[in-house]
Amino acid sequence: MKRAVFKYPVPRNGSFSLFLESGAKVLHVAEQFGKAWIWVEVDPSADTAPREFVAVMTGEKFDADGLHHVGTVLLDSGSFVLHVYERN
């Protein structure tokens, strides 16, 4: 099966959904050109379904139940740190 890597924007705060192919694997979260992005490996021929993510700032209180960490990204020369979680 052929795979591809796609990137998607990550909002600076709050919940967001991505329609990802079945079996998609989150590879990396990082800053590029001043914005936060998430890179995901997918099978482009697979059906898509929504997956839920949450972006929180360092020091922000949030309900961690049912979440697992997928990456942390430093923005604005490191003055803003964003942590990205996916709902299980």
Q: Can you give the pTM of this predicted structure?
A: 0.94
How do residues 31-53 score in pLDDT, each as one tens digit? 999 999 999 999 999 999 999 99
Whether residue 1 has pLDDT greater than 90: no
Parse the chain into domains and list their residue ranges: 4-87
Q: What percent of the chain has pLDDT over 70?
A: 100
How do residues 63-72 score in pLDDT, each as one tens digit? 999 999 999 9
- The CA-atom distances, in angstroms, between 13 and each of 19, 28, 50, 87 are 19, 18, 19, 15
